[in-house]
Structure 1
Amino acid sequence: MIPCSVYIVTLNCAEWLESTLESVKDFSEVIILDSGSTDHTYAIAESFPNTRISHQDWQGYAGQKSLALAQCKNDWVLNLDGDEVLSSELKAEIEQTIQSNQLDALITPINDVFLGVPNSKHTKKHAKVRFFRKSKGRYDLENKVHENVIVDGQSVRAEGDIYHYGESSIFVKVEKNNQYSELKAQEKYQKGKVPSLLKLVLVMPLTFIKSYFIRRSCLNGWRGFVNSMVNAFYAFLKEAKLFEQHQKMKNKQDNL
């Protein structure tokens, strides 16, 4: 068994969870913290001998993952979502990193399988720290969404991917973006960020250019165009909702 703990937070992930757990069946333990699934998430988790699942009321993305991380027993840990699958290439890199014991973390590319098809190999993928020494990593609990592991040590970018299957339809992606943009706007407001009219006007076209051309989503055909348009609208929503947060507070103050 690979001496590494895998930790996952779930909510109704039965559609993908079996594939997720199959990809990490050789790891010594898998910790799942579930926030109230009503599908077959528990039954699937309990069918894997290296997996332990328990309930935890939702504490926010960073808070929930921090609690799952705290339950891990190994020095090395890997974070996956319940709709992600570890590639065999990345699995081999993880084993090599543990054996060499020279690094503290791997920055892992996330290959978004949008509408059932992975990105072109030439598309520039976003990447996050997902594999690291437990003693060297922590979460910033002020981040409400798009949580990142902060590593006090040496990190390198991995070659192998984590495949993300959650964006199975345009409807699902847009729903998630609506939820995430609400959380990000609240986070920005709480941190004292001031909205910008110039950014509100420019953020959507500039984000589309970055996604479609610079990150090369144009190589993904019509799916790449749709994905870039949705990404651009997400960026616009974050700024528009920050304006909304400030307007709500101004209205409250005016009514006092």
Structure 2
Amino acid sequence: MEGKRKRKLSVAIITFNEEKNIGDCIRSVLSFADEIIVLDSFSTDKTKEIATSFPTVRFYEAPFPGHVEQKNKAISFCQNEWIFSLDADERANEALQKSILAFLEADEIGCDGYKIARLTFHLGRWIRHSGWYPQRRFRLFKKTNACWVGENPHDFIELSPGSRGKVMKGDILHYSFLDFSHQINTINQFSSIVAYTRYAKGERFSVFKTITKPMGKFLEIYLFKFGFLDGIPGLWIALASSFSTYLKYAKLYELDRLQLERPSNVRKDYGKK
């Protein structure tokens, strides 16, 4: 099978205290990865020990300046032209593994990147609405034709102007939250990062947005993106998304009006190169 491949593939993963996820994440890409880059921001658990137990892993450590910056740094360590980027709490499902193997063996590609759907497991079920699926984004791409962009921590791959993209069959399976408490903790952390990032770019607190944006977000998720079809989890997701939106503006208030240096749950090395 290996002799039939026409190209090599690097897999890039960033980590911080991911001992519960990193092993399954790596195992899901072993069938097609020629090298696996794990860029860690000094984990204090067994992430390094687990990751380095796989022969195809090259393990690096660096301070965490932000999601976009860290993922682009991970890309810089990749030696192959084509890269598959994955988070530690994600897996390539069987259909996606087959699609990537077929891509590696194909004579002609005709594109510079592939969009892949992501399917999230939350509150005991796969979430297929609420704006969470298929949520296709570029994840498989040419190193010289793409980079991570976006507002931290909501990053995405953008292809260079003139580059061509296609959709690849299969799903990235996303095990983002252990339970609802974990989701709330993540919302608290991510809303702090968004507020901190926006304030640094010049955005200031707005009473009007604090009132209207959370209500609009609930309606968007639950009604317009059919969150009600996800049952009770869909309702929880819509409410949590609304709460997350409120928190971003509440934390902007602290930064703007109370002159807080940074939210207390934003790491001190965040933003440092």
The TM-score with structure 1 as length reference comes to 0.87
1:238 aligns with 2:248: yes
Q: Distance in 1 between matches of 2:143 and 2:20?
A: 29
Q: Which runs of 4+ in 1 moved over 6 A?
A: none
The amino acid of 1:225's aligned partner reads L
For 2:182, the equivalent position in structure 1 comes to: 172
The structure with the largest helix share of the pair is 1
Q: Is the 8 A contact 1:116 1:168 kept in 2?
A: no
Matched with 2:137 is: 128
Alpha-carbon distance, 1:194 to partner: 4.0
Q: CA deviation at 1:123?
A: 6.6
Q: Secondary structure at the match of 2:202?
A: coil
Residue-pair matches, total? 249
Alignment of 1:25 with 2:30, yes or no, is yes
CA distance in 1 between counterparts of 2:45 and 2:166 reads: 37
In 2: Cα distance, 1:144 partner to 1:7 partner: 18
Distance 1:121 1:48, change over 3 A: farther
- Structure 1 residues without counterparts, runs of 5 or longer: 251-256
Of 246, 249, 258, the residue aligned with 1:248 is 258
Q: Return the alpha-carbon distance in structure 2 between the equivalents of residues 38 and 244 of structure 1.
A: 30
Aligned partner of 2:127 in structure 1 is 119
**2:109 pairs with 1:101:** yes
Is the partner of 2:216 in helix, strand or coil?
A: helix
Q: Give 3-state SS (helix, strand or coil) of 2:79's partner.
A: coil
**How far apart, CA to CA, are the structure 2 residues paired with 1:55 and 1:176?**
23
Cα drift, residue 85 of structure 1: 0.5
Tell me the distance in 2 between the aligned counterparts of 1:24 and 1:151: 23
Whichever residue aligns with residue 231 of structure 2, its letter is G
Q: Distance in 1 between matches of 2:142 and 2:201?
A: 29
State the 1:198 CA deviation.
2.7
CA–CA separation in structure 2 for the residues paired with 1:232 and 1:122: 12
Aligned to 1:254: none
Match of residue 268 from structure 2: none
Moved more, 90-99 or 103-112: 90-99
Distance 2:77 2:175 in 1: 26
Paired letter, 2:229: L
Distance 1:92 1:118, change over 3 A: same
Distance 2:110 2:84 in 1: 17
Equivalents in 2 of 1:131, 1:23: separation in Å? 15
Partner of 1:59: 65
Stretches of structure 2 lacking an aligned partner (at least 5 in a row): 261-273
Residue from 51, 74, 87 that aligns with 2:93: 87
CA contact (8 A) 2:120 2:132 kept: no
1:201 aligns with one of 196, 211, 215:
211
Normalised by the size of structure 2, how large is the TM-score? 0.82
1:116 is displaced (CA, Å) by: 4.1
Matched, 1:78 2:77: no
Measured after TM superposition, the shift of residue 168 of structure 1 is 1.2
Give the partner amino acid of 1:246: D
Residues of 2 paired with 1:124 and 1:15: CA distance? Answer: 23
Give the 3 Å change call, closer, same or farther, for CA 124–36 of structure 1 in structure 2.
closer
Distance in 2 separating the partners of 1:159 and 1:237: 36
The residue identity in structure 2 corresponding to 1:78 is F
TM-superposition CA deviations, 1:169-197 (whole Å, max 9, x none): 11111111111111111222222234433
- CA distance in 2 between counterparts of 1:81 and 1:35 reads 14
Residue 16 of structure 1 corresponds to 21
Whether the 8 Å CA contact 2:115–2:138 is kept in 1: the answer is yes
Query: What is the Cα deviation at residue 76 of structure 1?
Result: 0.6
Distance 1:122 1:236 in 2: 18
